[in-house]
Structure 1
Amino acid sequence: MKVVIVEDEIAASENLIYLINSIDANIEVLTVLDSVSASVEYFSKPNEAELVFMDIHLADGISFEIFDQVTLKTPVIFTTAYDQYAIKAFKVNSIDYLLKPINEEELDEAVNKFKQSTKEQPINSQIEGMLQLLQTKNKSFKTTYLVHHRDELLPIKVSDIAYFYIETGIVKGITFNNKSYVVDKKLEDIEGELNPEIYYRVNRQFIINRNAVANIKFYFNGKLIINTNPPSSERIVVSKAKASEVKKWINS
């Protein structure tokens, strides 16, 4: 099988190539394209690609813009950091996707799915519906959490929460004035209720408000440490696989 990777982060593309080689040494990576313009130029010409791995956010735009300029019949597996609306769009339109950091087992399943399928993917015809879901501006996000505090219920504004974290199975929200409240929800559910432009799940334990980031320090093996204001009692470590996405989110 011959594949093309569309990814603007060198570390991410190298990691994907490594994983691809791990699951099947017979898969040949034809090229890595790092932008919308490079992808349009490549797919405008005859090529041998049988499968495309495509990141959503590229250096010069969103990868969906590629489909406005070329007709791509090659099956596509989108790669993305968590975005509830992107995932909803993929499910509605039956387009496959992988969440970053990419898991080798899930990658293997996705590749095998396409190996076993002979159905041509009508990619271009589905992009319009995906864009409508992804670019809708009137999306509703959670604005308030009603939390137990002593013998009463308190409404806490989401915008007042610097970060959410889980400790021994209990989810807590820490406000900017350093008050702690127990939130009676799973961290996964909270993640899906928040505006992804403001809140990001940097690891399994923490969801952070962009405005709470005080600084980022480099850690060993390509990892990062995020320091927050107010400070967290637990060290917030970002994995090497997720580091580039976290930096991109903060810098967006």
Structure 2
Amino acid sequence: MKILIIEDEINAAKELERILLEQDKSNEVLAILDSVEAGIAFLKRNSSPELIFSDIQLADGMCFEIYKEVPVNSPIIFCTAYDEYMPEAFETNAVSYLLKPVTEVAIAKAMEKFKRLRFAFEPAAAIQSIEKLSRDLKYTYKKSLLVELREKIIPLPVNDIAYLYLENAVIKVVTLKGQQYYITSTLDELERMLNPESFYRANRQFIINRLAIASIDRFFSRKLVARLVMETPETIVISKANSSDFLRWLEG
């Protein structure tokens, strides 16, 4: 079973992972995420897991913000030190609500309950998969972008782009050969136009091409710095919340 853990206490997350793997060798923990931002990023880029274990109070807010931002059909087992969030939790796809410290017995009982209720989630998961496949078949990402150079409009193949950069409310497009152009779209619009297998939204200023990445440096506070094959106008920093997602994307 593919399981996602959303928990900002790393020791608690690792203990939960250990218990899940010991109880069933077929369990697979897809990722351990410690923030709302990381949860949203992961669920936007990946299909819904079969089950989510979720803390409620995270490093940057309440987990409910994730489920309001991203439609998730996965059943959720909440693990928290507080019982006052139970009503709000059961407005989501909650199948169980465990109070910390969570024991192996409590997890086993929650998993048994989930297995009994699992059929109720499967139709929704099937519908979601069909809808996603339909969207993927209908939607094709841009092969070229129309960029501006003086008085000309030029079709630029996206494979030639090294990065896109927001500078003083203007989007600069820089190619792998160092050519520079400008485009009138926003970074949010461009992120939707470009194939996420090749391009990554590193932060509020940069979208970068996988082909342009020369190396990754570790930065303080568990952030990362992407070094490209050419100089960039400023350092490309990937936040701590997105660093794991970025490395998974880089691996392909």
Report the equivalent of 1:41.
24
**Aligned position for 1:107:** 63
Unaligned residue ranges in structure 2 (runs of 5+): 33-37, 68-77, 79-84, 96-119
2:7 and 2:13 in contact (8 A); partners too: no
Pair 114,33 (structure 1): closer, same or farther in 2 beyond 3 Å: farther
8 Å contact 1:224–1:239 — kept in the other structure?
yes
Q: Is the 8 A contact 1:6 1:33 kept in 2?
A: no
Unaligned 5+ runs, structure 1: 8-12, 19-27, 45-53, 60-77, 91-95
Aligned to 2:107: none
Q: Secondary structure at the match of 2:208?
A: strand
Deviation, structure 1 residue 120: 7.2
Shift of 1:142: 1.3
Shift of 1:170: 1.0
CA distance in 1, matches of 2:91, 2:157: 47
**TM-score normalised according to structure 2 size:** 0.61
Counterpart in 2 of 1:227? 227
Larger Rg: 2
Task: Determine the C-alpha separation between the residues in 1 that align with 2:62 and 2:194.
Answer: 25
Q: Bigger CA drift: 110-119 or 228-237?
A: 110-119
TM-score, with length taken from structure 1: 0.61
1:212-251 per-residue CA deviation (whole Å, 9 max, x = no partner) reads 1001111122111111122212111111221111111111
- The Cα shift of 1:130 comes to 2.5
Find the counterpart in structure 1 of residue 147 from structure 2: 147
Name the residue aligned to 1:161.
161
Match 1:32 to one of 16, 32, 57: 16
On the 8 A contact 1:225/1:237 being kept in 2, the answer is: yes
2:161 is aligned with 1:180: no
Which among 5, 25, 39 is matched to residue 79 of structure 1? Answer: 39
Q: Does 1:130 align with 2:128?
A: yes
Distance 1:79 1:149, change over 3 A: same
Report % sequence identity.
26
| Deviation string, structure 1 residues 24-72 (Cα, Å, up to 9, x no partner) | xxxx9896338xx94993999xxxxxxxxx98x559xxxxxxxxxxxxx
Whether contact under 8 Å (2:147, 2:153) holds in the other structure is: yes
Question: What is the 5 A alignment of 1:18-29?
Answer: none
What is the root-mean-square deviation of aligned Cα atoms in Å?
Answer: 4.0
Q: Distance in 2 between matches of 1:6 and 1:114?
A: 20
Take 2:220 and 2:237, find their aligned partners in 1: how far apart are those partners? 10
Q: Structure 2 CA distance, aligned partners of 1:165 and 1:124?
A: 42
Q: Distance in 1 between matches of 2:171 and 2:63?
A: 30
How far residue 106 of structure 1 moved from its aligned partner, in angstroms, is: 5.2
How far apart are residue 141 of structure 1 and its match? 0.5
In the alignment, is the contact (CA less than 8 A) between 1:163 and 1:174 conserved in 2?
A: yes
One-letter identity of the residue aligned with 1:41? D
Displacement of 1:192 after TM fit? 1.3
- Give, in whole Å, the separation in 2 of the partners of 1:39 and 1:186: 48
Give 1:103 shift: 7.2
Distance in 2 of aligned mates of 1:142 and 1:172: 17
Contact 1:213 1:229 in 2 (8 A): yes
